[in-house]
Amino acid sequence: MCGICCVVTLCSQHAIHDFLSEDTLCHLRRRGPDSSQQLIKTVPDLSYECLFSGHVLHLRGLVTPQPLEDANNNIFLWNGEIFSGVHVGNLENDTEVMFRHLALCSSEVDILSLFSSLQGPWSFIYYEAARHSLWFGRDYFGRRSLLWQFSNEADSAFCLTSVSGCSESGSQWQEVPASGIFKIDLKACATTKSLSLTLFPWKYSCREEAVEERRFNVLDQVAKDLPSHVHLMVNESKLCLRAPVIPLNKTVSKASGACSGSNSSNINCVVSVETLQEFLAEEHKKKLACRFIDVLNEAVKRRVLCLFRDPDQKTREFPSMSHKKAHIAVLFSGGIDSMVIAALADKHVPLEEPIDLLNVAFMMKKQAKHRGTTKRHTSHDVQLDLLCPQEGCQDGDTSTHLSSFDVPDRITGRAGLKELEAINPSRTWNFVEINVTLEELKKVRKERIKYLIYPLDTVLDDSIGCAIWFASRGEGFISNQGELKPYKSPAKVVLMGIGADEQLAGYSRHRVCFRKDGLEGLNKELEMELGRISSRNLGRDDRIIGDHGKEARFPFLDEDVVSFLNSLPVSEKADLTLPRGIGEKLILRLAAKELGLTASTVLPKRAVQFGSRIAKLESNSEKASDTCSRLKLLSVDEL
């Protein structure tokens, strides 16, 4: 994870530093605490100037300060990880490797070919000195944040940055669309005193006939959000990037399952681990589950091993627990996604190294604690009681104050911990109980989190963004010999389960879509889900987690995992004629059962905003899609 930033002025009356606020620099430094430096490139003959600012979080090879500049005056800023496609040695730094490859590119085709070959998350800014070209963009899924802001037409300036600060200019920041790679001809722009962007869009190599139509759809989509004085065009050569995944298989076949017969009989299937075992008795389903395990296992392996480990680094918190500190953490609810990721991480993280399970809870309102037996909550509470009986869930001396944090995700998290301990009792599993009060939530949101969520602004963004910020900070309590002791996770890599629901029909809206429009409608919904994940989730989550000097990694969005799932018809991945806890994400549940997991394999989807109890904490009248007043960068009392 790094913080990267570039400011470009075209004959502006203002100094270039005027376009980079101290707030933005502060946020960038938090993302990259290991090295910070700036470089200004002035081209007086052409009247343009560029400021490059790089802030490095050291994860691989030797610490490599950014921006990098070579003998030909090319300049490079990189915020990414290369997991495949371009070879990076165990002791090499991928920023240097990428810069070497870029320096060898002699044409646009070479540059596009290089980025098409990459597997892993990235955003970048590259100044190609000889051609006065500025290249930038995000990976296919938009797993790394990159924002842009354009000044008014008179100033002819713009800024690219991983994260913004408070905007004093009044110009809006927007996320750079993950639609392809952009190029700016700075020489031409400086000459005309106008700003033009050229887009090189993604395409599927096997669908040549659809390229032209898709090209202009993408162009229209990106152009509609740009200021009127900024021009966008697709490159004249019609060059494209090759998409790193295969297209979605939209074949529709009749869903089948262990509970055969009509849809109504399927709905009556028992939600139990034994039901999953019956599915696995089918050779085809078992083979698919094992293939899924293989590809997901490789994705997790890449993400836990591509990391610098100092052999002398030891934990100071509890020497008796482990002689090494944790390098890997999992955002952990005890649900199916995080359980599978943790179980697979266990196969590759060195045994003497702990794995931190980050479990966040927001203090429940007192009145809410007395509603546990109401009709609305009965079935849910019964399910949690079956999963983790009350006497087994509590740490003997848990205080009354801490019981206020026994939210659903805390209960399932403790139960999930027991499953993981049963799979590998030799591993030190640090179950980090992260407890957040309403007072702390309000304070930190106002001071920091709202700037990270920006430019997103809905109630849903607020709930999820705040929950992820506190969880990924990793400050809480762990149990040491029966006592809860303060602990702060030192792990720089945080694994997240995002992407599973979007690909495997995990959300309740997928059931609504399936009931209304069948498998055809469900296919369209899933294709749309993955297409919008960059703008809906990933940029925000990258900014949130990066604020702690940590890096988010997403195994379910590994290119090989997505291609494998895209190759299957939807009926092989989910069966929404089956009840919740079985039908959604069916292939993942079968894989979890194969891995030795038990009760967690049949837990239904519960979004983090509900499981952590942050939703409705402050207002019961809000809808998820409403604009959130708490995220306004300048509230009335601050003016």
**Annotated active-site residue in 2, 259, 269, 513:** 2
Residue in this structure with the two tokens 């966008």, named with its chain if needed: 232
Q: Tell me, yes or no, if 393 is annotated catalytic.
A: no
| CB 413, CB 357: distance < 8 Å | yes
Structure tokens at 27: 């946020």
- Contact between 524 and 515 (Cβ < 8 Å): no
Burial class (CB in 10 A: 0-12, 13-18, 19+), 99: buried
Residue keyed to tokens 């993400």:
303
Q: How far apart are CA 179 and CA 203, in angstroms?
A: 10
Query: What is the three-class DSSP state of 629?
Result: helix
For the chain, the farthest-separated pair of C-alpha atoms sits apart, in whole angstroms, at: 76
- Helix/strand/coil (H/E/C) assignment for every residue in 364-421: CCHHHHCCCCCCCCHHHHHHHHHHCCHHHHCCCCCCHHHHCCCCHHHHHHHHHHHHHH
Q: What are phi and psi of 134, to 5 degrees?
A: -115, 115
DSSP H/E element including 51: strand 48-56
For 241, phi then psi, to 5°, come to -90, 145
First vs last C-alpha separation in the chain: 34
382, 388, 393, 399: CA torsion to nearest 10: -10
Catalytic positions are 2
